[in-house]
Homo-oligomer: A and B are copies of this chain.
Amino acid sequence: MKKALIISADNFEDTELLVPYYRLSEEGFQVEVASVRKRKIKGKHGYQVKVTKTLEEVNTDDYDLLILPGGRAPATIRKETRALEIVKAFFRENKPVAAICHGPQILISAGLLEGRRATCYRTVAKELKDAGAKYEDREVVVDDNLITSRQPSDLPFFIKEIMKKLKV
A residues apposed to B, CB below 8 Å: 14-15, 18-19, 22-23, 25-26, 45-47, 155-157, 159-160, 163
Contacts and interface: CB of A to CB of B under 8 A. Distances in A.
B156 A15 contact: no
A45 B156 contact: no
B46 A159 contact: no
A23 B18 CA distance: 12
A114 B104 CA distance: 51
A25 B19 CA distance: 12
A163 to B, nearest CB: 8
Contacts of A22: 15, 19, 155-156, 159
Given A26-B159, A26-B160, 5 more contacts: A14-B14, A23-B156, A23-B159, A45-B46, A46-B46
A139 to B, nearest CB: 11
